[in-house]
Homo-oligomer: A and B are copies of this chain.
Amino acid sequence: MINRQIHLVSRPAGEPVRDNFKLIEAPVPALLDGQVLIKHSWLSLDPYMRGRMDDKKSYAAPQKLNEVMIGGTVGDVIDSRNPAFKAGDHVVGMGGWQEYSVADGRGIRKVDTSHIPLQAFLGPVGMPGVTAWYGLNKICEAKAGQTISVSAASGAVGGVVGQLAKAKGCRAVGFAGGPEKCRYVVDELGFDACIDYKAHPDSKSLYAALEASTDFLHAHFENVGGPILDAVMVRINDFGRIAMCGMISGYNGEPIPMKFPQLILTSRLRVQGFIVSEHMDVWPEALTELATLVATGKLKYRETIANGLDAAPEAFFGMLKGKNFGKQLVKL
Q: How far is the CA of A257 from the CA of B269 in the complex (A)?
A: 16
The CA of A246 and the CA of B274, in the complex, are separated in Å by 25
| CB–CB A59/B267 < 8 A | yes
Q: Are B59 and A268 in contact (CB under 8 A)?
A: yes
> Number of copies of this chain in the oligomer?
2
Which partner residue on chain B sits nearest A261 by CB separation? B258
CB of A244 within 8 A of CB of B267, answer: no
In whole angstroms, how far apart are the Cα atoms of A271 and B260 in the complex? 13
- Tell me the smallest distance from the CB of A266 to a CB of chain B, in Å: 5
B-contact bits for A259-276, CB 8 A (1 contact / 0 none): 111101111111111110
- Bound CA–CA A51/B262 (angstroms): 11
**Interface presence of A245 (CB below 8 A):** yes
Q: How far is the CA of A259 from the CA of B266 in the complex (A)?
A: 19
Q: Does A77 contact B (CB under 8 A)?
A: no
Q: Is the CB of A264 within 8 A of B259?
A: no
Interface of A is mostly: loop
The chain B residue sitting closest to A263, CB to CB, is: B273
Contact residues of A between 303 and 330, Cβ < 8 Å to B: none
Shortest distance in angstroms between A221's beta carbon and chain B's nearest beta carbon? 12
The answer to whether A288 has its CB under 8 Å from any CB of chain B is no
A58 to B262, CA, bound (A): 10
A-side interface residues, number (CB < 8 Å):
33
A20 and B199 CA atoms in complex are apart in Å by: 42
Is A16 located at the chain interface by the 8 A CB criterion?
A: no
A214→B299 CA distance, assembly (Å): 49
Verify A273–B278 contact, CB threshold 8 A: no
| B246, B250, B267, B273: the one within 8 Å of A273 (CB) | B267
- CA–CA, A272 and B264, complex, Å: 6
- Tell me, yes or no, whether A256 is within 8 Å of chain B by CB: yes
Q: Which of B238, B257, B275 contacts A59 (CB 8 A)?
A: B238
B59 touches A261 (CB 8 A): no
Contact of A261 among B247, B265, B268, B274 (CB under 8 A): B247
Whether the pair A270, B272 counts as a contact (CB closer than 8 A) is yes
Question: Taking the complex as formed, is A140 at the interface, i.e. its CB lies under 8 A from any CB of chain B?
Answer: no
